[in-house]
Structure 1
Amino acid sequence: MKKIIFIIVIIILVKPVLPVLEYVMNYEYISKVLCINKDKPKMHCNGKCHLMQELAKASDAEKPISSDKKSISPVFEVLFFEKIDSFTITPIHFGTKEKVNHSYSNLYFYLNSDTVFHPPIFIS
């Protein structure tokens, strides 16, 4: 399984370089027969024009069909939407007086004394 994946990855990576490899391997044939500018030796093209055409064909073949420039329109996708029904800001009051509840009776009593409690002395 790993070998098959490795072969597929190699093919995908080498596919754009195939025209260049073909140019290097068949340099003599391309420069003498397939070159478009062979009647203009001052340009020193040597088949590079043919290589550029092949690279353009390879890049056009890699483009997806749906990427037509005529039908490009902005597409907005909403991933998450939650409607907020109401939003209110509650005012913050500092230094407000406590509300007095008259029905509450405070039965707690605290005597603040300065004396310290000592247990009774036990005489045996």
Structure 2
Amino acid sequence: MLLLLIVVKAAVMPAICLDYELRKEYITKNICVNRNRPQLHCDGKCYLAKKLAESQKQEEQSAENTYLASLIYQVMDTANPGLFTLQPVPHALHTESAEFAYTSPFIPQVAARQVFRPPLYA
């Protein structure tokens, strides 16, 4: 699956160039911005440049979104999905009330804290 995705991403730019070469005559006559000025010898290269720039921009946005998603996943505490958790707060005088504590998903949490605890002395 990953290999297929890599091959597809690598084939995007050559596919755009191949599309340009196959439809060069049509692009030159109908789509080119400079079709009315043949002395510029654009021959649809403006269309090709625009398509390649769009592809590059889309690839950069995809990479940025992937990076942000992985960053958020690393920062969030996946073991505790709730932001607000009910945690008893110890007081000098023991009362039956509990207070709410806010756990931010953007502050790194150590997952091992829930597994390991200090030794209990009896």
The structure that is strand-richer by fraction is 2
* Bigger radius of gyration among the two: 1
Normalising TM by the smaller chain, what interval? 0.3 to 0.5
